[in-house]
Every structure is written in structure tokens, then in C-alpha cells.
A = this chain, B = another copy of it.
């Protein structure tokens, strides 16, 4: 299919764009870069090496600092310019001992993990009757005496979706549940994991925060099979008693963004920013979230750099502390948000194939967005909006009106793995990762291109 489309495209007469330094057939050059990128190995090696040689890298911890050191070494070794770290301070929440023990009516352990910013239980845990709700709205509607002094459970029924939108729709138990439970006097809360793997006992963590005035309470996520188990107990008309231990602590720490450049022929031209995030949740090795994203965008930038010199600079940003509140994106925005950027892009939705391209490049640049669509089509990528772009760390700057583009990945199986202990290299499909690299290489060739041979210095040109 891809080959057929590529053939068709090559045969179609494309309108020439006004690019004074472009070679005679710029689309042909991009097609060659795109095809070569389908055999890319940089992204896999970056993903494997980061998840192996650093592993989990919770924001603000010593592990994330090791990841930054690793990143500086690696980006430098790959030949990128001006590799630097922009550090910032942040609060650091870290989990300790965790256990959920049903004391009755059917004594057994359930698999639980604390949500980020959960209050800590005492060492011996808290013990209480569990009261179950099907939704946050049902909890909101409950009389406080039904909740006071108890442990709240909230379920939901999140399905898989290609665009991941179900994560927004079904995430309320995690995001608002703890606050509402606290306001009603609950001593703790456990929610059904906001994840779509219903079969494995991989609790899905993630951050939440208590609304102003709500006293933080211990808040955890049960693995889906354990949530099923609890619901079966309720279905039997029983009132389970749970001893919940979720120890945690909050300290101060530092995170930082690791930044590297691909220099351009015109050093004054606004950069194309390609981002990902370096931090990960602590239970897995952060392979799909987001080592793969760093692998993808960095591999694409490397391929452009190796092909020659782009017209505009490419700025690679491995953001720090995304998971716990977009700290890296906000720090970058504070420092650089007023600088002109030609486009902002970020890869942070796993490693499965790109299926659609959206862009919002601003007034007078629709043709650039359409060209992107046309040159991505041979990868099976469908044209999306020309008035939308999104991203996690870059989201606030896109909100400020900076131009951007989004390569939308297939998220069908993303929430099976995301934020769980199962987010490891084992979940990455090498072929789909390569398709991502091809899409990003193509996008960079369009947005930062054309790519021209580097000026030859006094040394003999490499063959």
C-alpha cells in the first residue's frame, strides 16, 4: 500500500513552493529521506538504551538526574550542537510501602498503587469499610454520612479508543475523586485503574491534586482485576473492610529540560521544536511513556542532520517532569515562550503508528500544512485538521498561539500499558516505531527544510 502510494505521488505533478535554495525536486528528496527512515535504528537504540541504562526516572529524583546526565552524553555523542540542561526546582512526591488487604468478608490482598500526590497513610495503614460508587457524580450525590470515616471506591468502564479520548472521559475518578471523597469526610480512596488492560494486575498510576481546601487523603488505584474483585464482593451484598497502606513522602528536588540543536543555514531563522519527555512514572521503565517519543524525535533530527543542513534550526527538547504537572514545558515557556518558533511538535503517545496529521501553522501557512499532509500520505497517514495542534509539554505554548503540528499516533493499546509497571521495552513494536521516525523525518524535512548539502570545509568531503 505504501509503495503503491509512493509511486502514485511520484507521478503526480506537485506545485513548486517558493524556496530559493531548494534542489530541483524537493519532494523527491523528502521521499528518499522518508523511505530510508523506515529502516531507522536510532529510535530503537535510544529507547532501549534509556530504558535499560537508566530505567525508571521519576521527576525530581536522583534517577531523573541520572537520565539527564545520560541524555547530555548521548545527544553530544550523536553530534548535536549546544547540548545543555535548563534546570528548575520542584516538589517531589515518592511512594513507599503499599498494600491493600481485605480483612473481610473474604480476606485477601488486592494489588494497589498510590496515585501521585496521595497523602501518606501511617505505617500500619488505615482501616475502614469500603463504600462503592459507579462514578464521581454518584459520589457527589451521596449524603456525607454515607462516606464519612470510610474508604471510597469509584469504578468506571473505560474502553479502548484510537485517539485516547476515553482517558479524558473516564479519568474523573482519579482526577476529581480524591477531592470529592476528602470533602465528604472519607479517610481514603481507591479508584479503578484508569487503564484499559482488564486482564493483568498492573495498577495504573498518574498524578492528581487536591482542590484548595480539601485535606489530602491517601489515594490509590486498584489493578483492573482487583477492582473487578471488589465489585464482585459488592454484587454479593457484602460490605468489605480494607486495610490500606500507602506510604509516601514529599521532598524538594530539581528537574530540568535537556536541549540540543541541529544548526541551520540561517542561524537567525525561528526553530522547529521537537519535544518528548525524559521523566517517567516509577513503576515501569517509561518505554512507551516516553522514551520512545524521545527516540522518535531525536532519530528524525539525527537523520536530517546526517542528510545535510536544514534551512531552519531544529531544537530538540527532552522535557523534564512532564508526568507530575508539565513542569518542564512550563519552565521552557517561561524562558523561551516569547521567542519566535517556526513550529512546535511533541511525541508523547507511545510508539504505535502515526495515523493522522493535524497542524495549526498560522495565517498564510496553510499550504505548508497541506504539503505536510501530502508528503505523509505514503505512510498511511490521513490528513486531519489544519486549525488544530496539541501536545503535552508544548500545550501551554500552543495555547499562547505559537504554531504547531501533531502526528497523531494510534492509541488503541496505549492505555493498556501507560503508567503501569508493564510500560517496558517489551511493549514496543519496532516496525511501528520506524513508521513514526519516517513521519517525523518527513515533517522535519518539510518544516525545517529544505535540507541542503553541508558546505565543504578544507577537509576532503566524505564519500
A interface residue numbers (CB < 8 A to B): 48, 52-56, 63, 66, 105-109, 111, 198-202, 224-225, 228-229, 232-233, 236, 284-285, 421-422, 424-427
Select one of B66, B198, B202, B229 contacting A201, CB under 8 A.
B202
- Tell me whether A108 and B56 are in contact (CB under 8 A): yes
Nearest Cβ on chain B to A142's Cβ, whole angstroms: 25
- Tell me whether B229 and A422 are in contact (CB under 8 A): no
Residue among A55, A233, A427 with most chain B CB within 10 A? A55
CB neighbours (8 Å) of A202 from chain B are 200-201
Residue among A56, A201, A224, A228 with most chain B CB within 10 A? A201
Nearest Cβ on chain B to A95's Cβ, whole angstroms: 12
Instruction: Tell me, in angstroms, the Cα distance from A66 to B108 when the chains sit together.
Output: 11
Instruction: Tell me, in angstroms, the Cα distance from A292 to B422 when the chains sit together.
Output: 27
Nearest residue (CB) in B for A66 is: B107
- Tell me whether B232 and A48 are in contact (CB under 8 A): yes
CB neighbours (8 Å) of A54 from chain B are 106, 108
Instruction: Tell me, in angstroms, the Cα distance from A36 to B242 when the chains sit together.
Output: 41
Instruction: Tell me, in angstroms, the Cα distance from A425 to B235 when the chains sit together.
Output: 15
Instruction: Tell me, in angstroms, the Cα distance from A53 to B229 when the chains sit together.
Output: 9
Instruction: Tell me, in angstroms, the Cα distance from A200 to B195 when the chains sit together.
Output: 15
Instruction: Tell me, in angstroms, the Cα distance from A233 to B200 when the chains sit together.
Output: 27
- Tell me whether A422 and B106 are in contact (CB under 8 A): no
- Tell me whether A426 and B225 are in contact (CB under 8 A): yes
Select one of B66, B422, B425 contacting A228, CB under 8 A.
B425
- Tell me whether B52 and A201 are in contact (CB under 8 A): no
Nearest Cβ on chain B to A225's Cβ, whole angstroms: 4
Instruction: Tell me, in angstroms, the Cα distance from A161 to B106 when the chains sit together.
Output: 36
With contacts A225-B424, A426-B224 taken as known, whether A232 is within 8 angstroms of B201 at the C-beta atoms is no
Instruction: Tell me, in angstroms, the Cα distance from A48 to B107 when the chains sit together.
Output: 16
7 A–B contacts from the bound complex (CB under 8 Å): A55-B229, A200-B200, A201-B422, A201-B424, A228-B424, A228-B426, A229-B424
CB neighbours (8 Å) of A109 from chain B are 56
A-B pairs with lowest CB-CB distance, top 7: A55-B108, A225-B424, A225-B426, A199-B426, A52-B232, A201-B421, A200-B200
- Tell me whether A199 and B108 are in contact (CB under 8 A): no
Residue among A56, A111, A421 with most chain B CB within 10 A? A421
Instruction: Tell me, in angstroms, the Cα distance from A232 to B424 when the chains sit together.
Output: 13
Nearest Cβ on chain B to A422's Cβ, whole angstroms: 5
Nearest residue (CB) in B for A422 is: B200
Instruction: Tell me, in angstroms, the Cα distance from A425 to B424 when the chains sit together.
Output: 25
CB neighbours (8 Å) of A66 from chain B are 107
Nearest residue (CB) in B for A235 is: B52
- Tell me whether B199 and A52 are in contact (CB under 8 A): no
With contacts A48-B232, A200-B202 taken as known, whether A425 is within 8 angstroms of B225 at the C-beta atoms is yes
- Tell me whether A106 and B55 are in contact (CB under 8 A): yes
Nearest Cβ on chain B to A282's Cβ, whole angstroms: 9
Instruction: Tell me, in angstroms, the Cα distance from A422 to B197 when the chains sit together.
Output: 12
Instruction: Tell me, in angstroms, the Cα distance from A229 to B202 when the chains sit together.
Output: 18
Select one of B52, B55, B200, B229 contacting A285, CB under 8 A.
B229
Known: A55-B108, A56-B108. 13 other contacts (CB 8 A): A52-B233, A53-B105, A55-B107, A108-B285, A199-B426, A199-B427, A200-B422, A201-B284, A224-B426, A225-B424, A225-B425, A229-B285, A229-B424
Instruction: Tell me, in angstroms, the Cα distance from A198 to B200 when the chains sit together.
Output: 13
Nearest Cβ on chain B to A242's Cβ, whole angstroms: 14
Instruction: Tell me, in angstroms, the Cα distance from A427 to B198 when the chains sit together.
Output: 9
Instruction: Tell me, in angstroms, the Cα distance from A225 to B424 when the chains sit together.
Output: 7
CB neighbours (8 Å) of A55 from chain B are 106-108, 229
Instruction: Tell me, in angstroms, the Cα distance from A423 to B254 when the chains sit together.
Output: 41
Nearest Cβ on chain B to A345's Cβ, whole angstroms: 29
With contacts A200-B202, A202-B200, A202-B201 taken as known, whether A52 is within 8 angstroms of B422 at the C-beta atoms is no
Nearest residue (CB) in B for A424 is: B225
Instruction: Tell me, in angstroms, the Cα distance from A225 to B232 when the chains sit together.
Output: 31
CB neighbours (8 Å) of A107 from chain B are 55, 63, 66
CB neighbours (8 Å) of A284 from chain B are 201
Instruction: Tell me, in angstroms, the Cα distance from A202 to B236 when the chains sit together.
Output: 29
